[in-house]
Amino acid sequence: MHTHPTLSRRHFARSLALGALSSQLVSCASKSTGLPEHLPDRDKRMKRGYLYFLDGAGGGTEKKNWSEGVKEGLLAAGYRGAGEMFSWETGRGLVADQDAPVAYKRAGAKKMAAEVQRQTAAFPDAPVSILGFSAGTAVAIYALEYLPESVDVEHVVLLGCSMSEDYDLTKALRRVRGKVYLYTSTHDRMLRFLMPFSGTADRKKHDPGAGIHGFILPRGASSETRQLYAEKVVAIRWTKELEADGDYGHHFDNIKMEFIRDHVAPLLMGKTVPGLSQ
């Protein structure tokens, strides 16, 4: 594993078409998305790439979500593809979403995997990437596991990951062409103090979650698993330098516009970020 210091088709305001950032576009945007629902260049963007954003527990709806900074940051960074928020949540709030059984989260993940397959079939030359936040990271990982061998995603970024730290990523990593980037922080109070009692998104008790220190190899890891972790998993630790982009290591700091613009969007676009060598 490499360690470095240092967004139903009615998913959240239906489909999100990402376009060029301008004050004119933002001013005509709907309140729920912060962006126009449809843009003149959507057809071109669909051919360039597609991003699925899985929101955290308690979000993922038109009325409540944490995607505004994600969308604004992607646009500000010059993301040229299209994307959408894929809603998996129960609609009953943060606790209900976090505590939802693995079977429920896997059912949502299976639907997302089907969406990814349809997307790649329609646009075979447009890479698909995934961005997961908090409990949405579990659904993202499960979705990767449901993809057939004929379908891969380009990159995956996990923020505030509430998946158990020793979850076996082997099957998910097989479906990722590039990297799985994981931002971690020991200052994340949501993970440090609440998760040991509430349980991780994959329903393990007394586990800090991978968002604190990163993923660790599962017990009895095979040689294939060790190789996949070493080649594909990149843990990026919080450092004080990230405060310049509003990231103080807290749970919701990774989804601020400035942080998405300068650190997350470049990774999704296959670029490097400050201080990260690949």
CATH number at residue 54: 3.40.50.1820
| 278 lies in some domain | no
Query: Quick one: DSSP state of residue 219?
Result: T
Taking alpha carbons only, the member of 182, 143, 188, 210 closest to residue 267 is 182
Q: Say if CB 43 and CB 232 are below 8 A apart.
A: no
Residues 102, 242: Cα–Cα separation, whole Å: 33
Instruction: Report which of residues 37 and 239 the model is more confident about.
Output: 239
Q: Is 76 a member of any domain?
A: yes
Alpha-helix residue ranges (DSSP H) falling in the chain: 23-27, 42-48, 68-77, 94-99, 102-122, 136-146, 170-173, 189, 195-198, 210-213, 223-232, 257-259, 265-268
* pLDDT average, residue stretch 179-202: 83
Total structural domains in the chain? 1
AA identity, residue 58: G
Domain presence at residue 277: no
pLDDT 10s digits, 91-122: 888 888 888 899 999 999 999 999 999 999 99
Residue 225 placed within a domain: yes
CB burial of residue 148 (10 Å; 0-12, 13-18, 19+): exposed
Q: How confident is the model at residue 245 (pLDDT cuts 50, 70, 90)?
A: confident
Q: Which of 67, 22, 21, 19 is nearest to 44 (CA)?
A: 19
Contact 159, 133 (CB under 8 A): yes
Is 273 a domain residue? no
pLDDT at 175: 98
| Region 174-197 average pLDDT | 86
Q: Does any domain span residue 274?
A: no
Q: Tens of pLDDT along 191-236?
A: 877 776 777 888 887 777 898 899 999 999 999 999 999 999 999 9
Is pLDDT of 171 > 90?
Answer: yes
pLDDT of residue 78 exceeding 70, the answer is yes
Q: In what order do the strands lie in the sheet with 128-133?
A: 2-4, 233-237, 180-184, 156-159, 128-133, 50-54, 82-85
pTM, two decimal places: 0.84
* In the block, residue with structure tokens 């516009």: 257
Name the amino acid, one letter, at 148. Answer: P
Does 276 reside within a domain?
no
Range of the domain at 109: 2-268
